[in-house]
């Protein structure tokens, strides 16, 4: 049997499905069951540096997608605030809380991106070593 296949079929496809399941299922055991592999197999894969790196990248992509959506909403914050002022029936605390949440998420994403950029520069200065 080749390195790319197992008794369960194509290992590459299974690993990709496992990563997707880990992002959507509440537990690793549920993720393994969804993919149709043993929990021990998934645990072994999670210990593999290449799999762990692919999982980390997939998580980053999910977060980046969510932040992009928040950024789109962020641009509407001034409009929401204007509506808040114009609509006497809207509880001010409700819309203000939404705007504050959107601002906090975008701000935190910017701070984290700055930290990531700085860390990358530091690692490059050390020959790519953490």
Which pLDDT does position 126 carry in this prediction? 76
Whether 18 is in a domain gets the answer yes
**Do 30 and 66 belong together in one domain?**
no
Which pLDDT does position 4 carry in this prediction? 41
- What residues contact 24, with CB distance under 8 A and at least 6 apart? 31
- What residues contact 41, with CB distance under 8 A and at least 6 apart? 32
Domains in the chain, number: 2
Which pLDDT does position 3 carry in this prediction? 38
Whether 54 is in a domain gets the answer no
Structural domain containing residue 108:
61-130
Cα separation of 90 and 99, whole Å? 14
**Do 70 and 123 belong together in one domain?**
yes
Whether 37 is in a domain gets the answer yes
Cα separation of 65 and 69, whole Å? 6
Which pLDDT does position 38 carry in this prediction? 95
What is the model's pTM? 0.59
Beta bridge partners of residue 5, listed in sequence order: 10
Which pLDDT does position 129 carry in this prediction? 62
**Do 39 and 66 belong together in one domain?**
no
Give the pLDDT confidence of 52-94 residue by residue, as tens digits.
999 999 999 999 999 888 888 888 877 877 777 778 788 888 8
DSSP 59-124: HHHHHHHHHHHHHHHHTTHHHHHHHHHH-TTS-HHHHHHHHHHHHHHHHHHHHHHHHHHHHHHHHH
């Amino acid at each position: 049997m080749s390195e790319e296949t197992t008794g369960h079929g194509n290992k590459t496809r299974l690993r990709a499905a496992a990563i997707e399941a880990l992002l959507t299922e509440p537990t690793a055991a549920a993720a393994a069951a969804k993919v149709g592999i043993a929990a021990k197999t998934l645990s072994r894969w999670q210990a593999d540096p290449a799999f762990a790196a692919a999982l980390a990248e997939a998580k980053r992509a999910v977060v980046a997608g969510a932040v992009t959506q928040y950024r789109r909403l962020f641009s509407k914050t001034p409009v929401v605030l204007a509506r808040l002022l114009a609509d006497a029936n809207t509880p001010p605390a409700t819309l203000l809380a939404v705007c504050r949440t959107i601002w906090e998420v975008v701000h935190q994403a910017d701070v984290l991106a700055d930290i990531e950029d700085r860390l990358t520069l530091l690692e490059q200065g050390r020959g790519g070593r953490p």
